[in-house]
Amino acid sequence: MAQHRKRPWTFYVLATFFALFVLFLYGPMLAIYILSFQGPTGGLTFPMNGVSLHWFQALFEQQRTGDFSGSFSRSILLAFLVMICTVTFSVMAGLAFRRRFFGASAIFYMAVASLVMPGLFLSLGIGLIFRVIDMPTNWFSSALGAQLTWSLPFGLLIMFAVLSRFDRSYEEAARDLGATNRQTLQYVVLPILFPGLIAVALFGFTLSYDEFPRTLLTVGPGNTLPLEIYAMTTTVTSPALYALGTVTTVVSFAAIILSLGSIAIIQWRRGGRFRK
Amino acid sequence: MAQTGGIELANLTKRFGDTLAIDSVSMTVPPGTYCCLLGPSGCGKTTLLRMIAGHDEPTAGDVRIDGQSVLGLPPAERGTAMMFQSYALFPHLTCLDNVAFNLKVRGVAKAARRKQAHEMLDRVQMDGFADRVPAELSGGQQQRIALARSLITNPKVLLLDEPLSALDEFLRLQMRGNLRQMQNEFGITFVHVTHTQMEAIAVADLVVVMDHGQIDQADRARAVYDTPRTTYVARFIGGQNVLSGKVVAVENGAAILDDARGNRFTVPTGDTAPGTGETRYLSIRRDRIEMEKLADPSAARDGTVNSVVGKVWMTEYQGTWVKVNITLPDGEEFVANIDDGRFFANPVHEGDMVLARWPAESVHPLEHRESSFDTSRGGMHT
Amino acid sequence: MKVPSSVVPYIQVAPLALVLLVFFGIPLVTVVVVSFFDYVNFQTVPAFMFYNYEEVFSSGLTVTLYLTMLKYSVIVWLITLIVGFTVSYFLVFHVRSLLWKIFFFLVCTVPFWTSNIIRMISWIPVLGRNGLVNQTLMGLGLIDEPLDFLLFSDFSVIVAYVHLFTLFMVVTLFNSMARIDPAILEAAVDAGASRWQVITQVVIPLTKTGIALGSIFVVTLVMGDFFVVKIMSGGQSSSAVYAMWNEIAMLQYPSAAASAVILLLVVVLMAAAILRVVDVRKELSG
């Protein structure tokens, strides 16, 4: 099918532009990953003064760089919590929105508004409420709720996109073949939608893991990782900051590769072409 | 063995909001019949099928299978199985698991259900594809899997929604024969929805022609083609010229009609003799028309009954016959299908004035029915 | 257990709706209410007064802040629009293989799933006085002195914004453009349109929805920004949200709430203005 038509000159101009854009996108990030392996005497900029894991070790020395291990495990746990809630609630809501029901558009607009709401506004509001009802803010209560207002709208929008391509006759066929509602959901709907659910999970996890303004006033006594990094930008002037950035990004990339990889494998096994 | 799978519809009605999709339809499909629901899109044929299947509930009326009302029963308990237009094969399951799905949800043990599914795949000659996923199959193969998946439920009635529409022309003809053969083999009732006239006439014992949520005619294929009941059926099935005229006299069981173009036709009156001045409709099969070139078009008509005069605007060679399109003076179209030997012995050309006539016994009376169906679209070209 | 089918959607949507109500709806109302409260010695006192708003509006600082943010929004919006459009256009209409298309698209979106703060601070070793850019330029002999305007300036703020937010334009524009049937472009070329005319007469009108959605994202993100301005300007400029944060730090909640309400109104008005130009809902349903 590939037609080897001659490419127009604009192709080469645009391809160069795209390459520069990718360099712009990834170049600086690459710089800090490299600099995080800076030797013990190295500074915040190039050149490299030797190569070492010194600054990664420094991360674990609490007095120098703050509570890295604590915030790291807190962030991961919170991200998993947000991920599970986001997948469950978005899938349920997505299924609900396939029918007309009273209040559907109100809920939809609330989700969209929640998406564009400045994060600190929300943080402030939730912080105030917890003060009013005299409950201490904590990462597993107020911060979890605050992050969900950000991840759920994304999850819902992805579910809309996923379900708009879902053929309802799959469900009718299942029912025709004797499946109960629960069996239809378990054996047909959820497995077919599974790649979409992974995408929702990826958003849920990473949006929480990197969330900053919404968490700021709701996290309570213990910091999450992004808050820790933010604090470090003003206090830490060593490559330890970059080391933290590298560690954080490794986790993000692991999540991305795991989810996109499994989506690709599922699509490949189903023999369908890759659809976006 | 007494066959099962008889369907009775009694005053079946379906409304979607303000729209009346099915308007009090009653009909009977005897057990073991291959029945086609035929009509243009939007005529309600798929809605009717879905109500029999239990995927839509009627607003009023009853659906009975083998004498028992199935209203309110879930699809799987009606003794019906449905094959969807898109086949709806589960993309995440192999062919074997697709076919075994019904057994799985009924709690049949794995080994037993795999064995049964293999047997069923074998019956549709697809056992070699058991471990493939649907996306790896061609359209025709997918259809066989869909068929196997439906048949494994041991249905009394198989409901097929446009089963051939996703296939290309060649496969369509092949699978058409295949469906008919399966129906014979399993001896169950098939209800097949289609908008293609040829398809219905080729496979069905019983053709049900629908329009506007109503049944216009339910009859054997030949009867629907040869003796359409209404002007709508005649136009939709095609192969007919539909004419009308005002009654001027009744003689020997035939009405004599004059139309606005100055032509005179006869039409059998049947049981009720029409009064003078009434409009009557008739049809003549295109292949019953004889045609001759008029040497002098301006010459006065010799008063031949059962003929029209018009100008040939197009001839289409069809292999065994030639389709001659004639425009009547008021712009109406008239078609004569002339056997190719006879045509080329005495050919006509575009622009020729011709006289087309037919024997009185080829005339078939019609009831008049208004329809949304656009005549320019349709009809089989026979 | 048999649940009437008309109740099912309500049960399904309940968790999402409840979370949004409790953690979005109620906080929103609370902030609005508190913005009319009084505060005395770090204590918030229920009241109904416009003092907090008067204070915000009477401050020359507010005007400066919003003008700065508006300036950043417009510049960043323009750059991200041009870059995002060019990149999407290349991916949709010039990359022929579907697999490459998806791969390149993912390359553009992967940073979305990584930390914004990390991506922002990654500019420091690049743009700094001893950073990569200055080192390179000096190495090439193009400059003798390091360029100071690169980091902790308007320039670095805009670079960081563009870096963080362009992908929102790419994603929305890519989706819009991918829906265009390539045959339409060929038809336009057949009808005698030049390359440029195809873009202005066909592609841009058909991607209006994507442009509008991407613009809303970029503008609201810049206006709602908390830390980019603060860090990347080296403390010279401040964002509206950062000013609010200062008030919160001083426990002046009513005052912070008033600032928050004003910020929200500005953002909503800007989004509404964009939606007035393009009816997103109408085109989304298609």
Query: What are the boundaries of each domain within chain B?
Result: 7-226, 231-366
pLDDT at B44 over 70: yes
Lowest mean pLDDT among A162-166, B164-168, B341-345, C236-240: C236-240
Q: How many whole angstroms separate alpha carbon C222 and alpha carbon C238?
A: 12
Residue B52 in this model has a pLDDT that exceeds 90: yes
Average pLDDT over chain B reads 88
List pLDDT tens digits, range C127-142: 888 888 888 888 888 8
Q: How confident is the model at residue B273 (pLDDT cuts 50, 70, 90)?
A: confident
Residue B65's beta-bridge partner residues?
Answer: B7, B68
Residues in chain C within 8 Å Cβ distance of A124: 27, 31, 244, 248, 253, 256-257, 260
Residues in chain C: 286
Q: Would residue C236 count as lying in a domain? A: yes
Q: Is residue C21 part of a domain?
A: no
pLDDT at B381: 41
Per-residue pLDDT at B157 = 94
Q: Is B264 on the interface with A (CB under 8 A)?
A: no
Q: CA–CA separation, B239 vs B283, rounded Å? A: 10
Q: Are C185 and C205 in contact (CB under 8 A)?
A: no
CB B327 within 8 A of CB B309: no
pLDDT for C27 beyond 70 = yes
Identify the domain containing residue C264 by its residue range: 60-284
In terms of DSSP bridges, do strands B364-366 and B279-285 run parallel, antiparallel, or are they unpaired? antiparallel
Interface of A with C in 196-235 (CB under 8 A): 202-203, 206, 209-210, 212-213, 216-217, 226, 229-230, 233
Q: pLDDT tens digits for A151-198?
A: 999 999 999 988 888 888 999 999 999 999 899 999 999 999 999 999
Share of chain C above pLDDT 90, in %: 22
Cα–Cα distance measured from residue A217 to residue A213, given in angstroms and rounded to the nearest whole number: 8
Tokens 């336009």 -> residue: C188
Q: Which domain holds residue A76?
A: 67-235
Closest Cα to residue B59, out of B44, B75, B80? B44
Considering the domain delimited by B231-366, tell me its CATH architecture: Beta Barrel (2.40)
Residue B287 has pLDDT above 80, yes or no: yes
Residue with tokens 């035929």: B38
A258 touches C: beta carbon within 8 Å: no
Structure letter (DSSP) for residue C24: I
State the residue for tokens 């019949």: B33
Asked if pLDDT for residue B123 goes beyond 80, the answer is yes
With a cut of 80, say whether residue B259 has pLDDT above it.
yes
More confident residue, B304 or A175: A175
Chains touching C, CB cut-off 8 Å, 3+ pairs: A
Give residue-wise pLDDT tens across range C72-113.
Answer: 999 999 999 999 999 999 999 888 888 888 899 989 888 888
Instruction: Provide φ and ψ at B273, rounded to 5°.
Output: -75, 130
What CATH number is attached to the domain comprising C90? 1.10.3720.10
Residue type, A9: W
Q: What is the mean pLDDT of residues A74-103?
A: 93
A19 — pLDDT class (breaks 50, 70, 90): very high
Residues C48 and C36: beta-carbon distance below 8 Å: yes
Three-state DSSP class for B95? helix
Question: Domain holding A95: CATH number?
Answer: 1.10.3720.10
Mean pLDDT on C54-75? 84
| Rounded mean pLDDT, B312-333 | 90
B7-226 carries CATH number 3.40.50.300: yes
Between residues B215 and C60, the one the model is more confident about: B215
| C192/B9: higher pLDDT | B9
Mean pLDDT, residues A18-39: 90
Q: How many domains does chain C have?
A: 1
What are the strands, taking DSSP E only, across B39-184? 60-65, 68-69, 80-83, 157-161
Least confident of B38-42, B258-262, B307-311, B331-335: B258-262
- What is the secondary structure of A26-89 as a DSSP string? HHHHHHHHHHTTB-TT--SSSSP-SB-SHHHHHHT-HHHH--HHHHHHHHHHHHHHHHHHHHHH
pLDDT at B379 over 60: no
d(CA C205, CA C182): 15
For residue C250, count other CB atoms closer than 10 A to its CB. Answer: 12
List of chain A residues whose C-beta atoms are within 8 Å of the C-beta of residue B75: 172, 175-176
What is the reported pLDDT for B284? 93
Residue C163 domain flag:
yes
pLDDT at A276: 32
Q: Is A227 inside a domain boundary?
A: yes
Which residues does chain A have within 8 Å of residue C178's beta carbon, measured at their own beta carbons? 276
pLDDT at residue C282, as a whole number: 56
How many domains are there within chain A?
A: 1
Nearest-by-Cβ selection for A178 from B92, B132, B153: B153
Reported as a single tens digit per residue, the pLDDT across A215-274 is: 888 888 888 888 888 888 777 777 888 888 888 889 888 999 999 999 988 888 887 543
Cα–Cα distance, B149 to B151 (Å, whole number): 6
Q: Within a domain: residue C5?
A: no
Q: Which residues of A touch C172 (CB under 8 A)?
A: none
CB contact under 8 A, B88 and A173: yes
Residue C214: closest CA among C174, C168, C280, C167? C168
Higher pLDDT, A151 or A48: A151
Structural domain contains residue C223: yes
Backbone angles phi, psi at B337, to 5 degrees: -100, 110
Question: What band does B380 get if pLDDT is binned at 50, 70 and 90?
Answer: very low
For residue B382, what pLDDT is reported?
A: 40
Instruction: Name the band, by pLDDT with cuts 50, 70 and 90, for residue C42.
Output: low
Whether residue A4 has pLDDT greater than 70: no
Residue C266 domain-assigned (yes or no): yes
Tell me what pLDDT residue A63 has: 56
Which residue, chain included where needed, has tokens 């009717």? B48
pLDDT given at position A66: 65
Closest chain A CA to residue C131? A45
Point out which residues pair with B63 in neighbouring strands. Answer: B9
Instruction: Kindly determine whether residue C110 and residue A145, on different chains, have CB atoms separated by under 8 Å.
Output: no
Encode pLDDT of C170-229 as tens digits. 999 998 898 888 888 888 888 888 888 888 888 998 898 889 989 988 998 898 887 888
Residue A1, pLDDT above cutoff 60:
no
Note the pLDDT of residue C118.
87
Element containing residue B250 per DSSP (H, E): strand B240-251
Would an 8 Å CB–CB cutoff place C135 in contact with chain A?
A: yes
Cβ within 8 Å of A, C 28-47? 28, 30-31, 34
